[in-house]
Structure 1
């Protein structure tokens, strides 16, 4: 068995249940991508895309050999969209780095504007409403939470690419819904990673929030009284 065959077929036992090694490895890549994202490093995107490919095979038990009896089409489908958004984020952050020169950050965190938040909210409602009946018709296990996980994950990834601090809050909302669904479905490594991601998102939110406040302070205009003294 070659390395690829081993990665596709290897299993370990966790709490008495069989777990695919590629589920563990895929979530490991996801965590590494999140850490790069926290530090606003361009490598967040290609590393995350590798995890997307592996996890896509995990959540489609009908097409790939998996020990779980459930197909989570929303979870699998979001890996495809993640891959596409990863290309967009990779391009956008790389462009920002080139424009900013040596030492420039790949993205400058900021809170979304009121108009942008309304757009995200509308997209969240519409995306969940549209994907729910589709996932139910496909036979996805837990189609309603799966629909929100799919929609919320895409919006969070888009927000990360744009540099919205708000994207961390969206991820937290996804984790709150996703954790019980994955536990009931027996996807234990992914469920454990959702716990880690939840704590990580709180950390990331605080870090990006501080950075956005520091950026606003640096750009704040000098009061006229100080300007007159300096003159």
Structure 2
């Protein structure tokens, strides 16, 4: 138990500032998951879940005996949502028409789906802002709510294979970076800067790999034929 407690409390010190290893490792797992997602690898989901568990303990520090950090309820809550949605995405990516197909075909969302994403983002932020305020989340609470909703919708869009999910992550990063730095979560704030550049790259990669919905079955059939007898590295 002493070893577990030591690992839980381990920090990296930079002068007067310190960062928990849990925060650093959680973000590195998240980055690895994003890289796997861009390459459409199934292992992106379990790696992401491991990072979510670590970051949940970071952003809800008071529940784990850490009084030195502020609580970001949206950041903590979204880790739980990530785990649930990631389990769905993991299942969806591994239970295709044929069990040997381990990639998903990128495609544009329909206009109706895009409107649903926008309404969900704005409406969800408006609903959650007073909730997070009442629960004592770090101000400005609308930023935390925006990050929560954007993360949920982006993860869902990734599971669906929508190219637009990368742009939702960009919107999350734009708001998330200043919020995290102001709250003292420097490792996560810096990682969000990296995510911002990465998500733009991911958008163009998926856009170039997209196919029309009518040709998705053909593409998956070709992918299966080319890998038959040897699974992908995921």
- The TM-score bracket by the shorter chain reads 0.7 to 0.9
3-state SS of the aligned residue for 2:64?
Answer: coil
- Going from structure 1 to structure 2, the CA distance change for 1:12 and 1:192 (only over 3 Å counts) comes to same
Q: Counterpart in 1 of 2:112?
A: 115
For 2:10, the equivalent position in structure 1 comes to 10
- Residue 192 of structure 1 is matched in structure 2 by 190
Query: By how many angstroms is 1:129 displaced?
Result: 1.3
Secondary structure at 1:109 match in 2: coil
Secondary structure (helix, strand or coil) at the match of 2:18 reads strand
Q: TM-score, normalised by structure 2?
A: 0.87
- Structure 1: distance between partners of 2:170 and 2:149: 13
Residues 4-153 of structure 1 correspond to what in structure 2 (within 5 A)?
4-14=4-14, 16-66=16-66, 68-96=68-96, 99-100=97-98, 102=100, 104-142=101-139, 143-153=141-151
Equivalents in 2 of 1:35, 1:140: separation in Å? 30
Alignment deviations for residues 16-63 of structure 1 (CA, whole Å, 9 cap, x no partner): 301111000111110111111010011111110000000000001211
Aligned to 1:227: none
CA displacement, residues 174-208 of structure 1 (integer Å, 9 cap, x when unaligned): 00000000011110110011011111101100100
**Closer, same or farther in 2 for the Cα pair 1:15/1:196, shift >3 Å?**
farther
Instruction: Please state if 1:203 is matched with 2:215.
Output: no
Q: Figure out how many residues of one structure are paired with residues of the other and give that number.
A: 215
- The question of whether the paired residues in 2 share the 8 Å contact of 1:68 and 1:186 is answered with no
Q: Which runs of 5+ in 1 are unaligned?
A: 221-231
Report if aligned partners of 2:107, 2:213 keep a CA contact under 8 Å in 1: no
Instruction: Please state whether the residue corresponding to 2:12 is helix, strand or coil.
Output: strand
Unaligned residue ranges in structure 2 (runs of 5+): 217-234
3-state SS in 1 of match to 2:104: coil
1:167 alignment partner in structure 2: 165
**1:57-98 CA distances to partner (integer Å, 9 max, x unpaired)?**
0001211244743110000000000010011000000112xx
Task: Find the aligned partners of 1:7 and 1:31 in 2 and give their Cα distance.
Answer: 21
CA change 1:196–1:64 in 2 (3 A) is same
Q: 2-side partners of 1:178 and 1:217: how far apart? A: 33
Shift of 1:105: 4.5
Larger radius of gyration: 1
